[in-house]
Amino acid sequence: MRKILIVDDIEENRYMLESLIKGFGFKPISASNGAEALGLALSNPPDIIISDILMPVMDGYTLCREWKKDKVLKNIPFVFYTATYTHPKDEEFAMNLGADKFLIKPQEPETFIAIINQVIRDFKTNKIEIHEPSDMGDFNLLKEYNETLIRKMEDRMLKSEESEKKIRDYAAQLEKEIEQRNLTTHALKGSEEKYRSIYENSGVAILLTAPDGQIYSANDSACQLFDRTEEEICKVGRNKLIDISDQRWSPLLNKRKKTGHAIGELTLIKKDDTKFQAEVSSVIFLDKDNNERICMVIRDLTDQKLAEETIRQERSLLRTLIDNLPHAIYIKDNEGRKLIANFADLSLMKCSSEAEIIGKTDMEIFDNENGARGYAEDLSVLQSGQPMLNHEDYFSDEEGKQHWRLISKIPLFDEHKHIIGLVGFEHDVTELKKSEEKIRKMNEELEKRVTERTMELQIANKELETFSYSVSHDLRAPLRAIGGFSRILTEEYQEKLDPEGRRICKVISDNTRKMDQLIDDLLAFSRIGSTEMQRSDIDMTMLVNSVFIETTNENERKKISFTIEKLPSTKGDLNLIKQVWVNLISNAVKFTSTRELPVITIGGKEEDNRHVYYIRDNGVGFDMKYEDKLFKVFQRLHDIKKFKGTGVGLAIVKQIINRHDGKVWAVGEIDKGATIYFSLPKNDILSK
C-alpha cells in the first residue's frame, strides 16, 4: 500500500485529507509541522509528501528546502496543497525550492487523487525530473523568503475587515496566535511522544550520538544487535561499535560532515568482538538547544550477505557447469542481443572471448544470410512466446564448409509473465549428418540388394514348388502301389494269411498312410513361406467349433470334455489360421486320449495391442526344459510307438503364426497337461 505523508498544522485539514486518501487505497501518515514531517520521513520514507505552507516550528517552504537537500528524500515527490492567501509568486518560489507540484485548495476529490497518482507515476517513470533547489544564494533566498512572508502579511491585511476593525481583528488574531502557540506546544509534546514511541519500538537499530562519537541513547533493537545494554553502549561510545579500520568509514564520515547525511555499509563489532556487516544511515539534526546531534539507523546485513554469497556461489557453479557442457548454450535479451555465451558457443563461432559477441545480435555477429536467419528465429520466439525445439540449421565457416546445428530456443519470462529474453541450446550435428548420409546410401544399396535377393528367392520358390510337386508325385506313385497291394492281400487273401502275415500287411498299410501324411505335412510346411496370404475377418469362436467337429469322430467328441470360451475375432488368412487350430486340436486330442476323463479348454483375450489365444489339455504334458524343441521339425518329446505323428504339426503352427507377425509358446508339466499359446496383432497388416 502506498504511503502519503500529510503535513498541515490544522487538525481538521489533516483529518479531511486522511479520510480522502484512505478511501482511495492510500495509507496516510500525518505531521503537524515541517520538523515532525522530516523526522517521520527519515525513519519511514513515504511515496509522496503533501504539505501546507504556513505552519509553526517549521513552515512548508523550509520543509521543502530541507527535503530536497536530503539524498534520500529528494527522490520522493513534494507537493504543496494550500489556500492561504495564494499569489502567483508563491508557486514560483515553491518551485525554486524544488517542489514538484503546487496545488490550490479546494480540489475535487477525484481530481485531487488523479493528480497525486499521476505525480507518483511520472516520478517513478522519470517523466518528472528530480527538482533541485535553485542556486539562489543565501542572501537572495532570504530576501525572497522575506518578500513572500511580507506579501502574505499584506494579503492577510487586504483580506481583513475594514480599517476601523483592525484593532479588534488584531486582538482576535493575537488571541488566535496564542491559542495556536498552545496548540503548537501541545503538538510538539505529542510529536516528542510519538518519536519516542517510534524510537523505542522500531524494528531497526537506532543510536542517538554526537559528532564526536559520544552516544546518548540506544533503542532495544540496537541493544539486541550489539549484545549490550543501553548503558554499556553509551559508555563504550561509537568507536567501540564501529570498526574504524574499515576503509569505508572515513569517506562515509566525510560525506556526512559535508552533506549532513550519509548511507553506506560498514563493519560493526558486537560485545564478544564478533564483526558483522551492516548498512548504516546517519543524519545530522539540531536538538532543542540548537546542538548538533546524529541519528544513526543500522540494518544488520549478515543474512543478506550470506544469501548473496550463496547466490554468488550458485551462479559460479552454474556458470562452471554451463561453460563445461559440450553443447553451445547462450542467453539473449528481449531484442536478441547476446548476454551470456559458454565455451562451446564461442568455439562454434570461432570466437576467443565473450567480448567479441556480447551485446550483439546475430545480424551483427554473422554479416550474411546465416545472421539474418538466426535473428529472424530469435524475433519469432521473442514475439510469439513459443519455444522453437530441435530445429536444424547450418552455417558456412571461413573455408566455405557447411556445419549443421540442432537448435532449440526457449523464451524467458519475468515474474509478471513478460518476455525478457531467450535461452538457446545448440550442438554440432555435422558428423551425424554425414553418418546419416552414409546410412542412407547404405540403405539404398541394401534395398537394391534385397530387391535382387527377393527376385532370386521368388524364382527359387517357384523352382522349389515345382520340385516339391515332382517329389510328391514321384514318392506317392510307389506308395500307392504298396498301399494298393497291401489292401489286396488284406481283403482278398485274408483267409490264406496266417496271423503273422496279417500283421505284416497291417504294418505295411499303416506306414504307407503315415508316409502319405508326412508328405502332405512337408509340402504344407514348405508352401507356407511362399504362398500369398489372403486377408479376411475371422470369427474365431465359429472357426474353432467347426474344426473340432471336423477333426474328431463321434466317440471322441462324446468322451472329451471340450470347452470353448468366447474368442476375440481377428483378421488373417482363414485357411492358414484354420490349419493352426486343426494341428493344435488334433495334438491335444492325441495326448489326452490315454486319460479316463480327457479335458480340452480353448480361450482367448485382448491384451494391449494383441489378441492372445490358448488351448489347454490335461494330457501327458512335457518337461519345460525341452520347450525350445517343441516347435521344431521332427523333434519328438514322447514315445513314437505310443503317440503317432509326423513331428511337423507344431512346426507348421509356428511358421503360420510368424507369418502373421505373431508369437507362439507353451507351458507344461509332465503328467499334468500342457497349454499352448499364440498371439496375433489387432491390426490387419499381414506379412507378404
Q: Is pLDDT above 90 for 404?
A: no
Considering only the top CATH level, what class is 534-681?
A: alpha beta
Whole-angstrom Cα distance, residue 499 to residue 606? 57
pLDDT grade, residue 29 (50/70/90)? very high
What proportion of the chain, given as a percentage, has pLDDT over 90? Answer: 18
CATH topology of domain 202-300: Beta-Lactamase (3.30.450)
- Give the pairing of strands 570-573 and 599-607: unpaired
> In this model, does residue 79 exceed pLDDT 90?
yes
Quote the radius of gyration of the chain (alpha carbons, Å).
52
DSSP annotation of 73: G
**What is the mean predicted confidence (pLDDT) over 60-74?**
88
Distance CA 487, CA 512 (A): 11
> Is the pLDDT confidence value at 506 over 80?
no
Helices marked H in 349-492:
362-365, 369-384, 430-492
- The residue among 39, 24, 23 whose CA lies nearest residue 5 is 39
Burial environment of residue 558 by CB neighbours within 10 A (0 to 12, 13 to 18, 19 or more): exposed
CATH of domain 3-159: 3.40.50.2300
3-state secondary structure of 232: helix
Residue 41 three-state SS = helix
Judge whether 281 and 256 are in contact, CB under 8 Å. no
> Cα 234 from chain centroid?
54
**316-428: CATH homologous superfamily?**
PAS domain (3.30.450.20)
How far is 631 from 657, CA to CA, in rounded Å? 12
pLDDT in tens, 438-473: 888 888 888 888 777 767 655 655 654 555 555 555
- Predicted pLDDT of residue 511: 66
pLDDT of residue 356: 84
User: pTM for this structure?
Assistant: 0.34
> Lowest-confidence range among 28-37, 489-498, 617-626?
489-498
Cβ-Cβ contacts under 8 Å for 7 (sequence gap 6 or more): 30, 31, 32, 33, 34, 36, 37, 49, 50, 51, 52, 55, 60, 63
pLDDT number for residue 364: 85
Contacts from 180-184 at CB under 8 Å and sequence distance 24+? 180/9, 180/56, 181/56, 183/9, 184/9, 184/32, 184/33, 184/56, 184/57
Q: Identify the pLDDT of residue 443.
A: 86
In the chain, domain spans: 3-159, 202-300, 316-428, 434-525, 534-681
The stretch 623-633 carries a mean pLDDT of 74
Q: Return the DSSP state at 212.
A: T
**pLDDT tens digits, 293-335:** 888 899 888 888 888 888 888 878 877 877 787 788 889 999 9
Whether the CB-CB separation of 261 and 294 falls below 8 Å is answered with no
Amino acid at 13: N
**In sequence order, what DSSP letters do the residues of 335-372 get, joined into one string?**
TS-EEEE-HHHHHHTT-SSGGGTTT--HHHHS-SHHHH
Cell numbers 548454450 correspond to 329
Tell me, yes or no, if the two domains 202-300 and 316-428 fold the same way.
yes
Helices 60-69, 88-96: inter-axial angle, 10-degree rounding: 20
Overall average pLDDT of the 644-658 stretch: 75
- Confidence band, pLDDT 50/70/90 cuts, at residue 484: low
SS3 (DSSP) at 293:
strand
Running DSSP on this structure, what letter comes out for residue 207? E
H or E element that contains 90: helix 88-96
Sign of the torsion formed by the C-alpha atoms of 14, 15, 20 and 26: positive
- The pLDDT value recorded for residue 604 is 93
**Segment 348-399, tens digit of pLDDT:** 777 878 888 888 888 888 777 778 888 899 999 999 999 998 888 877 766 7
Phi (first) and psi of residue 220, to 5 degrees: -60, -40
Q: Is there a contact between 616 and 624 (Cβ–Cβ < 8 Å)?
A: no
